[in-house]
Amino acid sequence: MKIGKLNSIVIALFFKLLVACSIGLVERTNAALESSSKDLKNKILKIKKEATGKGVLFEAFTGLKTGSKVTSGGLALREAKVQAIVETGKFLKIIEEEALKLKETGNSGQFLAMFDIMLEVVESLEDVGIIGLKARVLEESKNNPINTAERLLAAKAQIENQLKVVKEKQNIENGGEKKNNKSKKKK
């Protein structure tokens, strides 16, 4: 009978240790993500400030127009957008790593909290003229709530894909020369 009681105590202690380690991992993950998120938001503000110094007038942006047609400093604006996208990509990689760590032991609340942090970061991209991304991601999450690592990673991939499209539109690789896609017809 004493061996059975001893086994029960050992199992209970093991379970408590497992729970304690899991809670510690969650707290470290949350702190790391919050810190990374804050760092990224500060970098985006710095990128915006540098672009403003190069002549970009962010105040000229309208609700839907955030390109060089509504503000000055075309190349500097495109470079600022690309820099912000690159920095956001680094943050999204951290999200992916943390989601994979929590894949087996995480709960829906943890994945939702990570999603909320991602949304805050995406919203900060509006400071440099990358708009509408948060609304598109939120719309998709209505149909597929972010309550698992897989769904969080799918939302991350959606953000990355949309940022890739924005980055390609900036046409930085071609020496910054933005080509007008509209052909002019002669009469």
Residue 180 lies in a domain: no
Which residues make Cβ contacts (< 8 Å) with residue 121, sequence separation at least 6?
A: 37, 40, 41, 88, 91
What gap in Å lies between CA 81 and CA 171, rounded to an integer? Answer: 11
CATH code, 68? 1.20.1420.40
**Higher per-residue confidence, 152 vs 21:** 152
What gap in Å lies between CA 166 and CA 78, rounded to an integer? Answer: 10
Q: How many domains does the chain have?
A: 1
CA 31 to chain centre: 16
Give, as one character, the DSSP assignment of residue 125. Answer: G
Residue 17 lies in a domain: no
Residue 51 lies in a domain: yes
What gap in Å lies between CA 22 and CA 98, rounded to an integer? Answer: 13
Residue 69 lies in a domain: yes
Residue 80 lies in a domain: yes
Task: Give the pLDDT of residue 120.
Answer: 92
Q: Whole domain around residue 111: which residue ranges?
A: 26-174
**Higher per-residue confidence, 29 vs 21:** 29
Q: What is the pLDDT of residues 96-107, one digit of tens each?
A: 999 998 888 888
Q: Which of 68-77, 86-95, 113-122, 124-133 has the lowest mean pLDDT?
A: 68-77
Residue 21 lies in a domain: no
The model carries a pTM of 0.75
Q: Are the C-beta atoms of 106 and 149 separated by less than 8 Å?
A: yes
Q: What is the pLDDT of residues 121-170, one digit of tens each?
A: 999 998 888 888 888 888 888 888 888 999 999 999 999 999 999 999 88
